[in-house]
Amino acid sequence: MASMAKYKATLRAQTRRRAVAHEANFLNITAMMDMMTIILVFLLKSMSASSANMPQTSDLSLPVSILNSQANQEGIQVVVSRDRIMVNGKELGNIQVPGCFNSVGDAPKAGEPYKLVFCPGDSAHGFDAKFKARGTASDLEIKDLFNAMELPVKVAQANADRKPKGQQAIEAMILFDRYTSYRVMTEVMFTLGQAKVSKFHFLAMSGKSQGK
């Protein structure tokens, strides 16, 4: 009959032989939440436009302003050039921007001095009816622009919700070509308002004040 000492030694040997390395069989939810929060903040910041990366294109000549106020640093970027509309750098399909000129050749080239141009402000000189939400020329809402604002507005709203009360407005930085008609400006701003943008910033090139 085996002694107690031999029995214990055999039991320890069997325990060591059958032992396996510890392996985690559960998920650490706290660590995963921290990781997802960091990724979400990164995505929100990367999708927010900045006045430091505004596009400069051949069909966009910014107006000149004598004001010296600093440009806003964040907001949804909306560019209205002579030929197209872009939201945060993404062009809106085949939408056509009404021009102030009878032909492309009449438009001043980039860098040429500004010339006074009369652009009628009635509905006939706005966006074509096929681009409107209600299919009429008198309508002010541009369908493709409104749809393109859905995702940027959601991102801006998420950013705004993290700010102190009173600083939660959804903002847009708008670049109009200097020859954009008043009617086109009205329709663009109305559409942005319908998309829940409540604060506008208009960007212009800095110029010198003229002496009196």
Q: What is residue 150's predicted lDDT score, i.e. its pLDDT?
A: 94
Whether 211 maps to a domain, the answer reads no
Do 8 and 84 reside in the same domain of the chain? no
Q: What is residue 212's predicted lDDT score, i.e. its pLDDT?
A: 38
**Element (H or E) spanning 171, and its range?**
strand 171-176
Q: What is residue 180's predicted lDDT score, i.e. its pLDDT?
A: 86
Do 131 and 186 reside in the same domain of the chain? yes
Q: What is residue 147's predicted lDDT score, i.e. its pLDDT?
A: 95
Do 37 and 94 reside in the same domain of the chain? no
Do 179 and 149 reside in the same domain of the chain? yes
d(CA 196, CA 161): 14
Whether 88 maps to a domain, the answer reads yes
Structure tokens at 167: 């600083």
Whether 136 maps to a domain, the answer reads yes
User: Domain span at residue 60?
Assistant: 51-206
Do 186 and 84 reside in the same domain of the chain? yes
Residues of the chain with pLDDT under 50: 49-52, 66-67, 209-212
Whether 212 maps to a domain, the answer reads no
Q: Which residues of 7-33 are buried (b: 16+ CB within 10 A; e: fewer)?
A: eeeeeeeeeeeeeeeeeeeeeeeeeee
φ, ψ for residue 188, nearest 5 deg: -65, -45
Do 98 and 148 reside in the same domain of the chain? yes
Residue-wise pLDDT tens digits, 145-201: 999 999 999 988 888 888 788 777 888 989 888 888 889 999 999 999 999 999 888
Do 39 and 57 reside in the same domain of the chain? no
| 8-state DSSP, 79 | E
Whether 19 maps to a domain, the answer reads yes
Q: What is residue 71's predicted lDDT score, i.e. its pLDDT?
A: 53
Check: pTM over 0.85? Answer yes or no: no
Please count the structural domains in the chain: 2
Do 35 and 108 reside in the same domain of the chain? no
Whether 195 maps to a domain, the answer reads yes
Do 76 and 22 reside in the same domain of the chain? no
Q: What is residue 145's predicted lDDT score, i.e. its pLDDT?
A: 95
Q: What is residue 109's predicted lDDT score, i.e. its pLDDT?
A: 67
Q: What is residue 66's predicted lDDT score, i.e. its pLDDT?
A: 45
d(CA 129, CA 186): 15
